[in-house]
Amino acid sequence: MGLKLITDQIPREKVPGASIIYIPSGKYLKYASFGYSTLLADLVYIWSIQYFSNTSVPERFQYLTHVYSIISELDPQYLDPYQVGALIAIYDAREFDTAMEILSQGLKKNPEQWIFPWQAGHYAQMILKDYELAKKYYKKAMEIPGAPPITKRLYSNAIYELGDYETAWKNWLEIYKNTDDERVKKIASNHLYRTKAAMDIQKIKHALKKYKDKFGQFPEKLDSLVSQGFLDGIPQDLDGQDYVYDRETGEITTAVIPWKR
């Protein structure tokens, strides 16, 4: 025992993360598992968590896709690794394409799992701010039975962010009418307020631009847009209140913040 304690204290040079070279292809590893492929998948997954958390390993994300594809080959129905792999790819490796690749693999092997396209949409929206991509993934998630109701709300929000206010309005109205949950009704109502406001403000600004092009300045009041024939009528917000008009800048805003109605 004394010899062991002494030996342990002798410093030895180690190459951080060298164990990665012993990881073969998942397909061949499945043959070598002799019926214990799910246990092997668990062990590789637990190892990968320790490996990718080790900040002293340079370029440790180089094999991220390879390691998680091994786990996928060994146990395709093991859902946690796909999600954690994508999480590591997004937040640590900052590789969005790798995250999408891992999540796509998860969806391919588990087409009944809505969580993968949902997570992809979430990353596209929150990290990339790519609402077109987010919309595509949320739509895919919505088509899978069991997807939570919030998926449709996120999808509708992505449509709003893309500027398609007509479709966003239709979706939010459908959500508002089809729910009995008061909280969801309130959320939908706020989004409907915001969408109508966006449509109205767009219309008014278009008229203001035409007015300024003709008269060289913004009108004193919005009523001038009607009297001059640029608008049929001055729209009001969903609560029947007038929009706030800044004559100096030509900006139009809502009287209240939608979330504080």
Partner 1 sequence: MKIRAVAFNTFKEAIRDRVLYLLLFFAAASLIFSRILALLTVGDKTKIIMDAGLASISLFGVLMAILMGTGLVYKEIDKKTVYTLLSKPINRLQFLLGKFFGLMTTLFIMLGVMSLIFIIILLLHSGQITWKFFVSIAFIYLELGLITSVALLFSCFSTPILSSIFSLSFYLIGHLSWGIETLIKKMKPGVTKFLTQVVYTLLPDLENFNFKTEVVHNLPIPPKIFLFSFFYGIIYTFFILVLSMLVFRRRDFI
Note the residues at the interface with partner 1 (CB under 8 A). Answer: 31, 34-39, 41-42, 45-46, 49-50, 75, 77-81, 83-84
CB 197 within 8 A of CB 243: yes
Q: How many angstroms separate the CA atoms of 173 and 178, rounded?
A: 9
Of 79 and 198, CB closest to partner 1: 79
CB of 84 to partner 1, least distance (A): 5
Full DSSP string of 89-141: HHHTS--HHHHHHHHHHHHHH-TT-THHHHHHHHHIIIII--HHHHHHHHHHH
* Nearest approach, Cβ of residue 213 and partner 1 (Å): 59
| Least CB distance to partner 1 at residue 167 (A) | 36
Q: How many CA atoms lie within 13 A of 48 on its CB side?
A: 28
Decide whether 26 or 81 has the Cβ nearer to partner 1. 81
Least distance to partner 1, CB of residue 44, Å: 11
Q: Is 178 helix (H, G, I), strand (E, B) or coil?
A: helix
Closer to partner 1 by CB, 46 or 255: give it: 46
The residue among 36 and 259 lying less far from partner 1, judged by its C-beta, is: 36
Task: Identify which of 9, 77, 76, 18 has the alpha carbon closest to the alpha carbon of residue 47.
Answer: 18
- The residue among 33 and 236 lying less far from partner 1, judged by its C-beta, is 33
Q: Nearest approach, Cβ of 32 to partner 1 (angstroms)?
A: 9
Number of Cβ within a 10 Å radius of residue 252: 18
